[in-house]
Chain A
Amino acid sequence: MAEAKKQKQFEDSHPEQAEEKTTPDQADEKNQEQTGEKTDDNDEKNEPRHTDEKQQKEAKNSVTSQFSSQVHDRPRPDEIQDESPILKFEDFSIFYDDFEAIRKLSANVPRGEVTAIIGPSGCGKSTLLNAVNRMTDLIPGCHVEGKMELNGEDVFGSGMDVIWLRRRVGMVFQKPNPFPKSIYDNVAYGPRLHGKRNGDELDELVEKSLKEAALWNEVKDRLKANAMSLSGGQQQRLCIARALAIEPHMVLLDEPTSALDPKSTAHIETLLGEIRGHYTVIIVTHNMQQAARVSDYTIFLFEGEMIEFNRTADLFVNPDKKQTEEYITGRFG
């Protein structure tokens, strides 16, 4: 029942999105005001080479049946090369002391898309996600080998300022973790850190972020209320709004719905559908249906190794590897 309802909600939200994105100009305009930087990225980079590809992509987006439409005109992950990947792994390994949590991972994560990481529990998917904004620094005994590049910049390199990295990579955690402050202060926390102290500007940003996180209507009358008073699902959307408020290049979602009830989960999936295309998103999930619903690309991790990385539709419909197939058909995990 719940599943069906979820799906329905998702579809309900979709036409809206589709409408927006049918006309590239319109979409661009919209993007400009919401996440200027993101759109710039795409424009600047993609225009010289695949001028029409993006438009094509946007057009395809409008088709409600996601898989069939998107699959074939998105490049396969192994085709994503040179400048276009936002995140690039080269023989990337993560260790907890001696234990190798991620083994020699090499992949290119596409820009502007939603990439899901799936795999049985303990396969290292959260670890991998945490490494992207170097939250792994906070875990004693955790170290990495190999290379991970964000926009061509070595994330674990000596020249990387971890604060600056995290400022550009937003993150939402498994359990909703709002600060014990007011709703407003929660969202304004990041912008304030990064120097936005102007009241009006801040108000605007908070409103915009809450709207993006589809929370605005519920909280606009009580922005000064303590965030702890929100329900679990609202708290998680608040966390998403908080992550979006710093206008990141990339958003990491670490099983964002695992601590929530089905209704809140559906709400958040809808929201993911809405921000898709504005941000590069990596989402870790233990829920395969969720991965299938919300992502463009999927990485399947098993015991620290990347078994398969493909367009979501391809991976779920005809996986290359036997292990993947076994996992998605529920034989283990």
Chain B
Amino acid sequence: MFNQEINPTILFLVTAVAVVLIGRLGYRMSRRRTEAITDGGEELRSTPDYYGWYALVWMFLPTLLLLIIIAVLAVFGLIDIPGLWIAAGCILLPALILLPVVRYLHADLNASVLVERVIYGILLSAALVSIFTTVGIMLSVLFESIQFFQHPSVSIPEFLFGTNWSPGGAFLESAGRGGEQGTEASFGAIPLFAGTLVITGIAMLVAVPVGVLSAIFLSEYASGKVRKTGKPIIEILAGIPTVVYGFFAAITVAPLIVRAAQWVGLDASYQNALAPGLIMGIMIIPFMSSLCDDVMSSVPRNIRNASYAMGATSSETIKQVVLPAAFPGIISAFLLAISVAIGETMIVVMAAGLTANLTANPLEEMTTVTVHIVDNLTGDQAYDNPQTLSAFGLGLTLLFMTLLLNIVSTIVIRKFRMRYEGD
């Protein structure tokens, strides 16, 4: 987009400085103009600074719109305008508009209306970024998935229900060597789903009891001081990057499990599902704990007091009153925790295996959906190779599952909150 002759960084900086200077000039001039108006005895309809901003809006909004149009066209390769021209436009256009606008300012003009409307527009467009992101994720995953599912060696039923995942043949096929002995690619994702399920299950076995019980301790038993030290300890677990958990699972936990298994006479793989599962469980503890803490503390105090006044012990109050009342909230936390677990990547990439292995034995090597997304997108294959594209198919499944869990949990928690609204 930028002309070769001029260093784009310098051009950009020069333009930016010039634009700021022109902006300042415009603002000053319009302020001076409003001062002249008020000196003339007329009363302004908005505060003076709004007139400054009014001028700026007129100066820069058209330029900005033009720039956006040019940028969009340039991205699609429809036009190619040298950077110098664009820079010149950015400076000249506002400068041309400056004088007429300043002259137009008058006392009856309610400058704040336009300015507020532009501010509203800016705020709204910022808010729309999140929509674009979601749409972007959906589209990017969806388009490439469609391409994947349209590939001759792939079929949706096989993908969803097939038990053999060996995409290795795909690149041979695309290299014109398909059909050689045993190289036929096969995309049956059940082993990946099963691996994800087993590892998620192990994680939940760790995270749910520990998370819920620690939330109970922190919200019901701990005194202020203990709570103040206990809570950060659990929160630290949430701040640890997943790559660190992955390292720990692979380097420390997996060998420990292998040794422990040998000790009881079992055979364990170094890439067993137990290590990533356990560590993922630990990672989810703070998530589970803080969500449960939230829902339990939104159970009204007076219900608890009623139970205590009946002569219930703390544990009876918790088990028979607080937990049943908070149950929907805990279920919703559980669903969210599952969605975190199935989307977790680094721990499984580092500690789980790559071989798609349909088994229920957690000591064996297993693999997950996310592992294969990473593996297929970081390989050396071409972008349109079915093996690479399979990552998008898996991504779509992952996205679907996550959104589903998230929506269900939102509905559950909303019902829960409604019950205690106003309390």
Chains A and B belong together in one complex = yes
Interface of B is mostly: helix
The yes or no answer to B251 lying at the interface (CB within 8 A) is no
Instruction: Flag if B320 contacts A189 (CB, 8 Å).
Output: yes
Instruction: Flag if A138 contacts B313 (CB, 8 Å).
Output: no
Instruction: Flag if A190 contacts B325 (CB, 8 Å).
Output: no
Instruction: Flag if B309 contacts A135 (CB, 8 Å).
Output: yes
Instruction: Flag if A133 contacts B309 (CB, 8 Å).
Output: yes
Q: Find the A residue at minimum CB distance from B420.
A: A180
The yes or no answer to B7 lying at the interface (CB within 8 A) is no
Instruction: Flag if B320 contacts A190 (CB, 8 Å).
Output: no
The yes or no answer to A166 lying at the interface (CB within 8 A) is yes
- Give the docked Cα–Cα distance between A228 and B420 (Å): 10
Instruction: Flag if A180 contacts B325 (CB, 8 Å).
Output: yes
Determine how close the nearest CB of chain A comes to the CB of B296; give it in whole angstroms. Answer: 13
Which residues of B have CB within 8 Å of A190? 310-312
Determine how close the nearest CB of chain A comes to the CB of B93; give it in whole angstroms. Answer: 65
The yes or no answer to B324 lying at the interface (CB within 8 A) is yes
Q: Find the B residue at minimum CB distance from A177.
A: B302
Which residues of A have CB within 8 Å of B325? 179-180
Instruction: Flag if A167 contacts B307 (CB, 8 Å).
Output: no
Beyond A140-B223, A179-B321, is A246–B305 a contact (Cβ under 8 Å)? no
Most buried by A among B303, B309, B313, B321: B309
The yes or no answer to B168 lying at the interface (CB within 8 A) is no
Instruction: Flag if B303 contacts A246 (CB, 8 Å).
Output: no
The yes or no answer to A171 lying at the interface (CB within 8 A) is yes
Contact with A along B308-339 (1 / 0, CB 8 A): 11111100100011001100000000000000
Of A166, A175, A180, A228, the residue contacting B311 (CB under 8 A) is: A166
The yes or no answer to B209 lying at the interface (CB within 8 A) is no
Q: Find the B residue at minimum CB distance from A173.
A: B302
Instruction: Flag if B306 contacts A173 (CB, 8 Å).
Output: yes
The yes or no answer to A266 lying at the interface (CB within 8 A) is no
- Give the docked Cα–Cα distance between A134 and B124 (Å): 55
The yes or no answer to A2 lying at the interface (CB within 8 A) is no
- Give the docked Cα–Cα distance between A51 and B311 (Å): 34
Instruction: Flag if A173 contacts B305 (CB, 8 Å).
Output: yes
Of A165, A170, A177, A181, the residue contacting B324 (CB under 8 A) is: A181
Chain A-chain B contacts (Cβ-Cβ < 8 Å), number = 68
Beyond A164-B311, A166-B311, A167-B311, is A177–B223 a contact (Cβ under 8 Å)? no
- Give the docked Cα–Cα distance between A190 and B325 (Å): 17
Q: Find the A residue at minimum CB distance from B312.
A: A193
Q: Find the B residue at minimum CB distance from A192.
A: B320
The yes or no answer to B419 lying at the interface (CB within 8 A) is yes
The yes or no answer to A322 lying at the interface (CB within 8 A) is no
- Give the docked Cα–Cα distance between A242 and B303 (Å): 13
Of A165, A189, A228, the residue contacting B307 (CB under 8 A) is: A189
The yes or no answer to A4 lying at the interface (CB within 8 A) is no
The yes or no answer to B224 lying at the interface (CB within 8 A) is yes
Contact with B along A191-214 (1 / 0, CB 8 A): 001100000000000000000000
Instruction: Flag if B316 contacts A193 (CB, 8 Å).
Output: yes
The yes or no answer to B100 lying at the interface (CB within 8 A) is no
The yes or no answer to B300 lying at the interface (CB within 8 A) is yes
Instruction: Flag if B302 contacts A135 (CB, 8 Å).
Output: no
Which residues of A have CB within 8 Å of B223? 140
The yes or no answer to A315 lying at the interface (CB within 8 A) is no
Which residues of A have CB within 8 Å of B321? 179
Contact with B along A221-255 (1 / 0, CB 8 A): 00000001000000000010011001000000000
Determine how close the nearest CB of chain B comes to the CB of A134; give it in whole angstroms. Answer: 9
Which residues of B have CB within 8 Å of A177? 300, 302-303, 305-306
Which residues of A have CB within 8 Å of B310? 166-167, 170, 189-190, 193, 242-243, 246
Which residues of B have CB within 8 Å of A166? 308-312
- Give the docked Cα–Cα distance between A163 and B317 (Å): 12
Instruction: Flag if B308 contacts A135 (CB, 8 Å).
Output: yes
Which residues of B have CB within 8 Å of A193? 310-312, 316, 320
Instruction: Flag if B312 contacts A180 (CB, 8 Å).
Output: no
Determine how close the nearest CB of chain A comes to the CB of B362; give it in whole angstroms. Answer: 38
Instruction: Flag if A135 contacts B305 (CB, 8 Å).
Output: yes
Instruction: Flag if A140 contacts B311 (CB, 8 Å).
Output: no
Contact with B along A85-111 (1 / 0, CB 8 A): 000000000000000000000000000
Contact with B along A270-306 (1 / 0, CB 8 A): 0000000000000000000000000000000000000
Instruction: Flag if B309 contacts A180 (CB, 8 Å).
Output: no
Instruction: Flag if A138 contacts B305 (CB, 8 Å).
Output: yes
Which residues of B have CB within 8 Å of A175? 302
Determine how close the nearest CB of chain B comes to the CB of A183; give it in whole angstroms. Answer: 14
Which residues of B have CB within 8 Å of A243? 309-310
Determine how close the nearest CB of chain A comes to the CB of B328; give it in whole angstroms. Answer: 10
Determine how close the nearest CB of chain B comes to the CB of A238; give it in whole angstroms. Answer: 11
Contact with B along A139-171 (1 / 0, CB 8 A): 010000000000000000000000111111011
Instruction: Flag if A170 contacts B309 (CB, 8 Å).
Output: yes
Determine how close the nearest CB of chain B comes to the CB of A318; give it in whole angstroms. Answer: 36
Which residues of B have CB within 8 Å of A167? 310-311
Of B224, B306, B316, the residue contacting A242 (CB under 8 A) is: B306
Which residues of B have CB within 8 Å of A168? 311
- Give the docked Cα–Cα distance between A177 and B305 (Å): 9
Which residues of B have CB within 8 Å of A242? 306, 310
- Give the docked Cα–Cα distance between A140 and B228 (Å): 14
Q: Find the B residue at minimum CB distance from A163.
A: B311
- Give the docked Cα–Cα distance between A181 and B307 (Å): 12
Which residues of A, 48-84, contact B by the 8 Å Cβ criterion? none
Interface pairs (5), CB distance under 8 Å? A135-B308, A166-B310, A177-B306, A180-B324, A190-B312
Known: A165-B311, A173-B302, A239-B306. 20 other contacts (CB 8 A): A138-B308, A140-B223, A164-B311, A166-B308, A166-B310, A166-B312, A167-B311, A170-B309, A173-B305, A177-B303, A177-B306, A178-B303, A179-B303, A179-B321, A189-B307, A189-B312, A190-B310, A242-B306, A242-B310, A246-B311
Residues of B near any A CB (own CB < 8 A): 223-224, 300, 302-303, 305-313, 316, 320-321, 324-325, 419
Residues of A near any B CB (own CB < 8 A): 133, 135, 138, 140, 163-168, 170-171, 173, 175, 177-181, 189-190, 193-194, 228, 239, 242-243, 246
The 9 A-B pairs with the shortest beta carbon distances in the complex, nearest first, are A167-B311, A171-B309, A166-B311, A177-B302, A190-B310, A177-B306, A180-B325, A163-B311, A177-B303
